[in-house]
Amino acid sequence: MDSSKKTSYFLRKSPLLRVLVAVLFISIILFSFYFISFTTRRIPQIDSIVPPVGSPGDVIVINGKNFGATRDMSYVEIAGTRMTASSYISWTDSSIKLVLPSNVKDGLVYVGIKDMRSNPSLFANEVDIPVPVTTVKQISRPVILKLSSLKVNVGDLLTIYGNNFGDARNNSRVLFTIDYNRRLRDSNVKNISYFTENMVCANEDEFDYISWSNTEISVIVPDGAFSGVVMVDTGKQRSEPMELTISESAGAKTFINKKIYLLTYSADVADVVCDGLSTLTLRAPIPFETAAQPRVETIEVTPIPSLMKYQHDIIHQITKTKSSTIKNVMNYTFVLPVYEINTNVIAERAGNYSKADSRPLYDLGTAADSLIPAKNADVIALASQITGKEKNAYKKAKLIYEYMISNFTLLKKMRKGGADPKDLVSKKRGDAYDFAVIYTALLRASGIPCLMDAGVLIGQDLTTQPHWWNEFYLENFGWVPVDVSLGAGLEYKSWGDIEILPKEYYFGNLDSHRVLFSRGLNELKPFSVDNKIVQQPRSFALQSIWEEATSNVSKYSSYWSTPVVKGVY
């Protein structure tokens, strides 16, 4: 009997064998279908989100491919939250249109199809980012009719009455005269054009805008304001100026010796090891705008970023589909003016905080955070020891400055990134970063609003190095700059244009040989709670996140250059 007849015989004689053969045959067919389906399945891919910035109620369109012809059980997820059925307007294989819900947050966007998810793309809530509004024809020019007072101090509340200010502030500003290079102070002839050529706006980061309506604005007079005029700027038109006197009863501040810097730095990412679609996000800091460093211009950013200005950063996203050794390089170039700051404080008229209960600035400026150990017991004890019975804020700040210079040793070499700045209190030795952290902490522990600033120090040969300094706030005066490490004799290639001793100069004055990137710690949240974050301690900017990667990235290498000066004018 040949083999085929034997097989036929056994199949007829054995029911169990017949069942096993049938099951095997069906399994082969099902596996074949699954294998074909698996190898040919279409993974959804997001190419763009239009617009990438929105607010609740806005319609956005997600463009890409492989979304499926109908939604069925597919979904869109934003910042870890899946959109409800009522959010979707239309769904095609290459385009999804939906309405943003009231609870929309910043974060990564995914399109989910069955057990597959697309590559992530970034979305930002318009509430948290200054987005230029589309230009429309202004019906009426803003008009100032009256001011609550014609003579005020820096830090005072000023109410502006008028019309056509707009029902909400949005990108509108209140502008005050500022006196650069002592032009107004030294001039015998003053006119409206002098007053309006240089203006400083109320500072949103310092909570200067209290309320805004179409007919009434309440605003804090900002640091740097000088006697001249006040104006309302809606972004479309400016009001006529109204004269305003800024009292100098607590002292005077001047901005002189302007320098204009062309500054650039870069960041790169390489050797990415990941499992499938992954995203790395870089947050590149932008130079900070202040009265002493106005009008920062971003000249060039390559490649085109995901977000140009978000929480004081430029956002770049890099998407990878598999492990790669290719290097991605990002470049940033800025032009900005920097003024030297000189102050002359009348301590007895600026040393109390009678307005502290009404200003969030005081709470923020005296609080402990992950950078500043203002509530540390050793810091509190040292602050009390240094200041003793002194009550005046200006005098306490100077006592702490002089104590640190006389009792702490400034190290020439930078300590490692993870070193604890509190070591300076116990070991009396530290670098410029430690000096700035502890000076901030000692002032905050003494009830004085103080910020730690970060940026780069520029030598006469245009070499740069990361650097940190401080500023503390006085009622009726504004911010007073302090550089403890330079006062203590930090060595760098100085410009030689400061004719007095560094110890005397760097309390209350600040040179224009630096670029400011951070005022206080910029506390950031990751775009996804599952992301891995990277910090850059003791760098030229103070922010809690510099890089973040999706959870399926196992490792990669990155490098941030110190900003360098390409020209000074």
pLDDT at 321: 85
Percent of the chain whose pLDDT exceeds 70? 90
pLDDT at 55: 82
- Per the structure, the complete domain to which residue 396 belongs is given by 342-518
Pair (328, 368) in one structural domain: no
Q: Among 136-140, 165-169, 326-330, 555-559, which stretch is predicted with the lowest mean pLDDT?
A: 136-140
Residues 452-480 have pLDDT tens digits of: 999 999 999 999 999 999 999 999 999 99
Final residue belonging to a domain, choices 76, 92, 127: 127
Q: Which residue has the higher pLDDT, 46 or 2?
A: 46
Secondary structure E strands in 426-528 = 429-430, 450-458, 464-474, 478-482, 509-510, 514-519
Final residue belonging to a domain, choices 60, 94, 127: 127
Query: Is 134 within the bounds of a domain?
Result: no
Residues 384-443 have pLDDT tens digits of: 999 999 999 999 999 999 999 999 999 999 999 889 999 999 999 999 999 999 999 999
Pair (360, 435) in one structural domain: yes
Q: SS in 3 state form for 266-334? A: EEEEEEEEECCCEEEEEEEECCCCCCCCCCCEEEEEECCCCEEEECCEEEEEEEECCCECCCEEEEEEE
Compute φ and ψ for 265, nearest 5 degrees. Answer: -150, 170
pLDDT at 48: 85
The span from the CA of 40 to the CA of 218, in Å, is 63
Residue pair 448/397 in contact by the 8 Å Cβ criterion:
yes
At 188, the pLDDT band (50, 70, 90 cuts) reads confident
Pair (503, 542) in one structural domain: no
Average pLDDT, the chain: 89
Query: Is 252 within the bounds of a domain?
Result: no
Residues 499-544 have pLDDT tens digits of: 678 999 999 999 999 999 999 999 999 998 899 999 999 999 999 9
pLDDT at 146: 97
The span from the CA of 185 to the CA of 122, in Å, is 49
The span from the CA of 334 to the CA of 516, in Å, is 12
Q: What is the mean pLDDT of residues 43-56?
A: 86
Percent of the chain whose pLDDT exceeds 90? 68
Final residue belonging to a domain, choices 484, 502, 518: 518
At 4, the pLDDT band (50, 70, 90 cuts) reads low
Pair (425, 499) in one structural domain: yes
Pair (564, 432) in one structural domain: no
Pair (358, 496) in one structural domain: yes
Query: Is 137 within the bounds of a domain?
Result: no
Pair (413, 514) in one structural domain: yes
The span from the CA of 406 to the CA of 379, in Å, is 17
Tell me: pLDDT of 361 over 60. Answer: yes
Give the single-character DSSP code of 372: -
pLDDT at 116: 85
Amino acid identity for residue 157 in this structure: L
Q: Among 62-66, 91-95, 187-191, 565-569, which stretch is predicted with the lowest mean pLDDT?
A: 187-191
Pair (49, 26) in one structural domain: no
Amino acid identity for residue 31 in this structure: F
Query: Rounded to the nearest 10 degrees, what angle do helices 377-387 and 432-445 cross at?
Result: 80
pLDDT at 22: 64
Q: Which residue has the higher pLDDT, 32 or 259?
A: 259
Residue 166 falls in which region: left (phi positive, over 0), alpha (psi -120 to 50) or beta: left
Pair (278, 379) in one structural domain: no
Residue reference for tokens 């034997």: 6
Residues 119-168 have pLDDT tens digits of: 888 888 776 555 444 444 445 899 999 999 999 999 999 999 999 999 99
- Supply 22's token pair: 């049938």
Query: Is 529 within the bounds of a domain?
Result: yes
Pair (167, 204) in one structural domain: yes
Residue reference for tokens 């190898």: 39
The span from the CA of 353 to the CA of 515, in Å, is 30
At 16, the pLDDT band (50, 70, 90 cuts) reads low
pLDDT at 138: 45
pTM to 2 decimal places: 0.82
Q: How many domains does the chain have?
A: 5
At 375, the pLDDT band (50, 70, 90 cuts) reads very high
Query: Is 444 within the bounds of a domain?
Result: yes
CATH number assigned to the domain comprising residue 60: 2.60.40.10
Query: Is 378 within the bounds of a domain?
Result: yes
Pair (211, 312) in one structural domain: no
Pair (187, 305) in one structural domain: no
pLDDT at 9: 54
Residues 214-250 have pLDDT tens digits of: 999 999 999 999 999 999 999 999 999 999 999 999 9
Q: How many residues does the chain have?
A: 569
DSSP one-letter string for 411-432? PSSPPPTT--TTHHHHHSEE-H
pLDDT at 468: 98
At 497, the pLDDT band (50, 70, 90 cuts) reads low
At 33, the pLDDT band (50, 70, 90 cuts) reads low
